[in-house]
Chain A
Amino acid sequence: MKIDLTTVDKIASLAKLEFNGSEKEDIAMDMNKMLDFVDKLQEVDTEGVKPLIHMTEQVNVLREDVARIEITQKEALKNAPKKDSTYFKIPKVISQ
């Protein structure tokens, strides 16, 4: 697979990001490098091997249904670039 500028545009739009022309070219180059690196794995014969989904053999790692408040409202809002005392604030989006 080769990443071209159209693919960069598409991924950028899915992530709601905008880039100018030279940025896009840099991104395409970086992404191609990453894909080439991963492509190396294609050389391994995986015929008949079940896809590996998890790196651990552990299954059913579950939690009891017990509610616990771990952080305060103030702490929750602390890192938000824009907020009031109750809510996170984001640029107005038209009702979806």
Chain B
Amino acid sequence: MTLEEVLKKYEVVIGLEVHAQLNTKSKAYSADPNEFGSVPNTNVSPVSLGHPGTLPKLNKEVINHAIKLGLACHCDITREMHFDRKNYFYADLPKGYQITQDKTPVCRHGYVLIKDADGNEKRIDLTRIHMEEDSGKSIHDQDPFDTLVDLNRAGVPLLEIVTEPVIKNATEAYNYLIEVRKLLRYLDVCDGNMEEGSMRCDANISIMPIGSKTYGNRVEVKNMNSIRNVYRAIEFEIVRHAEILENGGEIYQETRNFDAPSGSTIGMRGKENAHDYRYFPEPDLGGITIEQAYINQIESMLPPLPNFLYKKYINELGLSDYDATNIVENRDIALYFEEIIKHTSSYKNAANWLMGAIKSYLNEMSIEISEFPIGADKIAQLITLIESGKINNTIATQKVFPEMLANPTANPQDIATKNDWIVQGDSGEIEAIIKGVFEKNPDETKRFKDGEKKLAGFFMGLVMRESKGKADPKTTTQLLNKIIETL
């Protein structure tokens, strides 16, 4: 069956679980460093190795990050909470249990605003956000006889963000993950890198005949290391479910792994024993009480969030949907834009410069905006210089901007003055050039006067050459038309 055929008969129900690794300096319950890419088994401690007699102690920053994200997602913050043990046996979980939150997640309810498949705003309701710890890493393919275990990641703090089953298709899932990743990055709680696994997503997928009230059996898909792969896995599963149901089969409720090269999912066999995690309250970590004053303090320090900036750019600055979307997509780009518009109110020009010349330069050099040499205030000065008519856009882009890149501390006005790129305030100089150009080209001048309008381009080119590009195209056009009348 094709996806289109399936969607005519079936409704899709998706819930997502996102695990975000927090960018704290130390782990969740012990002081060993939280650092990606270190030599294996060096960022460990007796606590994260699960040695007997050791006691965990919660990292303050983990609660702080959890509340930040909760407030950004409009959640209710739980005021009294504790941790729970989730028991399961696996070699990369040295304690034999994960310290997580079962009964009292730090955040409940709340929502994330996304665009649905038609581009309309949609609320994705959250069930909960809770704090927990990551496991270590098993490496199966490096040694022919044994599995290798690296416990650097054991105990790294995670936030698990769980949605209600309200996502209707792969596009919504994709857009939701983009939004969540943006929030994590704006809040500076997680770097949101799915390839490196600092943000991971599991998808619970089921389908039911349109109009049905009972959900179909759901399947949990794991191991998708990019947002694009979550999209692919969902589309694959939808069709797989429909084909089974159409052939009179039944969906086996199971966990499946996504296989990126084939774009398909593979069932994990031998898991017929349903998980029994035997949750119980964690006795080694005391209770947590959150005061309203603490919540208020965190709230007052929240940075501007992408959705807020998007609406500000559209409604207050008059930017297009396209510009606003592109600017807020990347937190550091948005912060840079915020800096530019502190110094100029030419918002559209600021957006054009940022998404045009500056973005091209970043792409060309393969660098991030944080490494961009020119200060936002200098870019604002350049824009002001163009706005005032002192230089034209071509000179600004082709001459002043490269000069600023070569000498980032220099003032654009000084650069333009020093190189004699400033357009003369009165039009006398341009008028003289135009008259000279007409004199030197009597044939073309006659034809232009007789109405051959396309020669305007020819004269414009000559004027630009004579003026070394300083002439403002708009003024020049006006003057060309004015002067030809008088000949």
Contact = CB atoms under 8 A, between A and B. Distances in A.
Contact of A87 (B35, B41, B61, B285): B41
Interface in B1-53: 24-26, 31-35, 39-46, 49
Interface residues of A, number: 40
Contact of A73 (B42, B146, B149, B283): B42
B228 interface: no
A92 interface: yes
14 contacts: A14-B89, A54-B82, A60-B286, A63-B31, A64-B60, A65-B59, A69-B32, A69-B45, A70-B45, A73-B44, A76-B41, A88-B150, A90-B148, A91-B146
B26 A67 contact: yes
Nearest to A86: B40
Interface string A36-78: 0000000000000000011110111111111111111100110
Interface string B271-297: 001001010010101111100000000
Q: Find the residue from A13, A70, A76, A95 having the highest chain B CB count within 10 A.
A: A76
A59 B89 contact: no
Interface in B87-131: 87-91
Contacts of B301: none
A79 to B, nearest CB: 8
A95 to B, nearest CB: 5
Contacts of A58: 286
Contacts of B33: 67-69
A16 B143 CA distance: 23
B151 interface: yes
Given A76-B44, A90-B146, A70 B31 contact: yes
B146 A92 contact: yes
Given A69-B32, A86-B148, 7 more contacts: A14-B273, A15-B89, A62-B59, A65-B26, A73-B41, A77-B41, A82-B146
Given A53-B281, A82-B146, A86-B39, A59 B286 contact: yes
A89 B273 contact: no
Interface string A1-45: 000000000100111100000000000000000000000000000
A70 B32 contact: yes
Q: Which 8 A-B pairs have the closest CB atoms?
A: A65-B61, A87-B148, A67-B33, A88-B149, A89-B146, A67-B26, A68-B31, A62-B60
Contacts of A95: 140
B147 interface: yes
B409 interface: no
Given A63-B31, A65-B61, A73-B42, A54 B287 contact: yes
B335 interface: no
A76 B14 CA distance: 42
Contacts of B35: 67
Interface residues of B, number: 51
A18 to B, nearest CB: 13
Interface of chain A: mostly helix, strand, loop or mixed:
loop
Contacts of B151: 76, 88
A19 B99 CA distance: 29
A66 B26 contact: yes
Contact of B149 (A60, A64, A90): A90
B268 interface: yes
B265 to A, nearest CB: 15
B268 A69 contact: no
B207 to A, nearest CB: 26
B138 interface: yes
A72 to B, nearest CB: 8
B58 interface: yes
Contacts of B273: 13-14
A53 B82 CA distance: 8
Contact of B58 (A54, A63, A87): A63
B60 A63 contact: yes
Nearest to B289: A59
Given A93-B91, A93-B147, A66 B289 contact: no
B322 interface: no
A69 B139 CA distance: 24
A16 B151 CA distance: 21
B465 interface: no
A27 B203 CA distance: 40
B403 to A, nearest CB: 44
Contacts of A90: 91, 138, 146-149
Contacts of A94: 140
B41 A54 contact: no
Contact of B59 (A63, A73, A92): A63
B308 interface: no
B50 to A, nearest CB: 11
Contacts of A71: 44-46
B38 to A, nearest CB: 10
